[in-house]
């Protein structure tokens, strides 16, 4: 482990505790000059490290810098296979993990970033991913004997995990707009994008890349105009270790369900957090929008709808939009 990572691990595990330069040098088997250089480097990255004469260096207890060490200290045993890489900026975490998957990386490889320059959403959309405000995470999965149509279960499982993570680290109640958008109130705070590759011999998934983008905070200058009525954030003000805690909580909840594989268990929790049951929606199909009423979400997380003509349908994937009263039928 490089000096930087060793020092972050030491500070993250002992927030609020002072270490003298001599003590750190001895623990890390480096010179005191190297300690000073490493501390200044971390400060330049945004780590609030205090230095007090005769006491040493201390990582502030109110720090909120995304790091592998900061996430790892909150992970449970269910995440034993998780291999974390945290990058300050990346084009797309999904792209980064897909490249690793194609090279034969094992299940559990996870790339997390605080900024994406080419973040992707569903149906070719972009995903706004500004620096220092969110957690953008992609996880490599290799589920055995998984048929393509079952990939949606990974998305719905992730949606439940995001809701539970938000509820764990904040006082907010999160809900799911079928199939993959997470809302707090009437604002979207998270999007999920699952991409997969098929094995040519058996037609099963070779791997899946589960991408999750969470707006932990609102951007300093606000969301772009086109997102202001849509996008929101989990927290209104800075939190101690907010980004690390929410990333770890998501991984903990997701991996617990992923290992359990009890569909009925997480499906019931998905349904309980549905934002659309009993509401009027538009179902987007073939470039057209059809008015419908949501009847239920079943144990497979499929959406049961009734169209204006009385016809009932069961949707396994697709795009919907919630109708407001002024839009009529």
For helices 263-272 and 151-169, the axis angle rounded to 10 degrees is: 60
Please give the structure tokens belonging to residue 93: 């975490």
User: Residues annotated as binding site?
Assistant: 92-94, 116, 120-122, 188
Where do the H-state alpha helices sit in 73-202? 93-102, 151-169
Number of residues written out for the chain: 329
**Residue 190 burial (10 A CB sphere; 0-12, 13-18, 19+):** buried
Task: Show Cβ contacts of residue 46 under 8 Å, excluding neighbours closer than 6 positions.
Answer: 65, 132
d(CA 13, CA 25): 17
Helix (H) or strand (E) holding 254: helix 242-260
d(CA 222, CA 224): 7
Nearest C-alpha neighbor of 300 from the set 150, 167, 141: 150
CA 143 to chain centre: 19
Nearest C-alpha neighbor of 207 from the set 98, 302, 90: 98
Identify the three-state secondary structure at position 150.
helix
Nearest C-alpha neighbor of 170 from the set 154, 186, 157, 189: 189
User: Residues annotated as binding site for biotin?
Assistant: 92-94, 116, 120-122, 188
């Amino acid at each position: 482990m490089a000096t930087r990572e060793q020092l972050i691990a030491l500070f993250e595990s002992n927030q609020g505790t002072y270490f003298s330069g001599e003590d750190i040098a001895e623990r890390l088997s480096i010179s005191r000059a190297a300690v000073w250089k490493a501390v200044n480097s971390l400060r330049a990255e945004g780590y609030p490290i205090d230095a007090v004469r005769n006491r040493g260096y201390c990582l502030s207890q109110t720090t909120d810098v995304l790091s592998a060490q900061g996430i790892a200290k909150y992970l449970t045993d269910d995440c034993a296979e998780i291999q974390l890489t945290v990058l300050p900026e990346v084009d797309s975490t999904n792209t980064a993990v897909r490249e690793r998957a194609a090279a034969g990386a094992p299940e559990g490889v996870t790339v997390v970033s605080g900024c994406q320059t080419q973040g992707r959403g569903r149906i070719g959309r972009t995903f706004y991913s500004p620096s220092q405000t969110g957690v953008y995470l992609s996880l490599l999965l290799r589920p055995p004997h998984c048929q393509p149509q079952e990939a949606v279960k990974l998305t719905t499982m992730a949606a439940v995990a995001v809701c539970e993570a938000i509820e764990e680290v904040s006082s907010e109640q999160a809900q799911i707009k079928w199939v993959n958008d997470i809302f707090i109130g009437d604002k979207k705070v998270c999007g999920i994008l699952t991409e997969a590759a098929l094995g040519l011999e058996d037609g099963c998934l070779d791997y899946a890349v589960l991408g999750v983008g969470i707006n932990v905070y609102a951007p300093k200058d606000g969301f772009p105009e086109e997102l202001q009525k849509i996008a929101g954030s989990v927290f209104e003000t800075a939190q101690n270790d907010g980004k690390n805690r929410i990333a770890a909580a998501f991984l903990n909840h997701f991996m617990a369900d992923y290992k359990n594989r009890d569909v009925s268990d997480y499906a019931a929790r998905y349904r309980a957090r549905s934002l659309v049951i009993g509401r009027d929606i538009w179902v987007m199909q073939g470039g057209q929008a059809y008015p419908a009423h949501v009847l239920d979400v079943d144990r497979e997380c499929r959406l049961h709808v009734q169209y204006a003509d009385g016809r009932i349908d069961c949707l396994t994937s697709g795009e919907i939009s919630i109708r407001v009263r002024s839009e009529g039928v």
